[in-house]
Amino acid sequence: MGAAVRTPGGKIFSGANVENASYGLTCCAERNAIFAMANAGEREVECVTIFTPTTTVTAPCGACRQVIREFGPKATVISTGLKKARKVWTMVELLPDSFGPEDLAG
């Protein structure tokens, strides 16, 4: 699986799944792309595009949804697959009533 994120300034960062025998240590493509973006000094996601080599599209996992929400509460998420499979969501659709930095006390 692969993913790319686009910033409001048009910069694109890519990521791939990094699998691990200890599944809890695996890191999804979406998070790897966002971490590459953050490492480059960018802090806002406008759009996330995901590709899975399947005929049905795959939505981001819960951990990825939260990380996308942290950097792009209004981001668009596009999932694509084989045979032109495609689905588009907003982050509000994927993670309604979400928790973010603005909810922290302080």
Tell me whether residue 101 is in a domain.
no
pTM to 2 decimal places: 0.93
Total domains, the chain: 1
> Residue 8: what pLDDT?
98
Which tens digits make up the pLDDT trace of 24-63?
Answer: 899 999 999 999 999 999 999 999 999 999 999 999 999 9
Question: How many Å is the Cα radius of gyration of the chain?
Answer: 14
CATH of the domain at 50: 3.40.140.10
Which residue range forms the structural domain that includes residue 26?
A: 2-96
Q: Is 30 a catalytic residue?
A: yes
Tell me whether residue 67 is in a domain.
yes
Spot the catalytic one: 19, 30, 42, 46: 30
